[in-house]
Structure 1
Amino acid sequence: MKNKQSSRFAGLTLFVSAVVFCTVFVFATTPAKAADQVYVVVEYFNVKPDGHLKYLEAEQKIWKPMHQERIKQGIIVSWNLYAVEFTGSADSYNYVAITTYNNPKTLENPWNAEIPAKVHPNMGLSEILDRTNKAREIVRSELYQGVAAIPSIPFADPANYIQVNYMKVEPGKGSEYEALEKDVWMPIHEESIRSGRTVGWGLWEALFPRGAGRPYQYVTMNTFSDYSYALELSFAESFKAIHPEQDFNEIMKKTNEARVIERIELWNLIDYVVK
Structure 2
Amino acid sequence: MKRSILMLLLLTLLSGAIWAQETRYLVFEFFKVESSEMYDFIEHKDFMEKVYQSAINDKKISGWDFWSLQSGADSGEFQYITITYYDNPVSMMNGLNEEDLVKYAMIAYPHLNAKAVKDKFSLANRAFDLKQRSYMQQIANSKDSFKMKRGILASFDLMKATEGRFQEYERAEREVFLPIHQSRIEKGLMGSWVLLRTALPFGSEAKSTHLTMNMYKDYVQFFNAQEYEDMESTADQRAKIEQGLKSRDQKWVYLATLEGTVR
For normalisation by structure 2, the TM-score amounts to 0.81
Question: Within 2, Cα distance between the matches of 1:137 and 1:223?
Answer: 26
Partner of 1:246: 236
Secondary structure of the corresponding residue to residue 196 of structure 1: coil
Maintained 8 Å contact 1:192/1:238:
no
CA deviations 1:99-131 (Å, max 9, x no partner) are 111123322443446323322342534213212
Question: Within 1, Cα distance between the matches of 2:231 and 2:150?
Answer: 25
Q: Percent identity?
A: 21
Question: Within 2, Cα distance between the matches of 1:89 and 1:191?
Answer: 33
Question: Within 1, Cα distance between the matches of 2:149 and 2:207?
Answer: 31
Partner of 1:24: none
Given candidates 200, 204, 208, the residue that maps to 2:200 is 208
Letter paired with 1:102: D
Superposition pairs of residues 1-275 of structure 1, within 5 angstroms: 35-36=20-21, 37-61=23-47, 63-86=48-71, 91-111=76-96, 112=100, 114-121=103-110, 122-123=112-113, 124=115, 125-151=117-143, 155=147, 157=149, 160-208=152-200, 210-234=202-226, 237-238=229-230, 240=232, 243-244=233-234, 246-248=236-238, 250-274=239-263
Secondary structure of the corresponding residue to residue 199 of structure 2: strand
More helix by share: 2
Question: Within 2, Cα distance between the matches of 1:186 and 1:169?
Answer: 17
Secondary structure of the corresponding residue to residue 92 of structure 1: coil
Question: Within 1, Cα distance between the matches of 2:240 and 2:227?
Answer: 12
**Deviation larger for 36-45 or 127-136:** 127-136
Maintained 8 Å contact 1:47/1:136:
yes
Question: Within 2, Cα distance between the matches of 1:158 and 1:183?
Answer: 31
**Deviation larger for 165-174 or 36-45:** 165-174
Task: List gaps (5 residues or longer) in structure 2.
Answer: 1-17
RMSD over aligned CA atoms reads: 2.5
Aligned length: 238
Task: List gaps (5 residues or longer) in structure 1.
Answer: 1-32
Letter paired with 2:125: N
Maintained 8 Å contact 2:64/2:83:
yes
Post-superposition offset of 1:247: 4.8
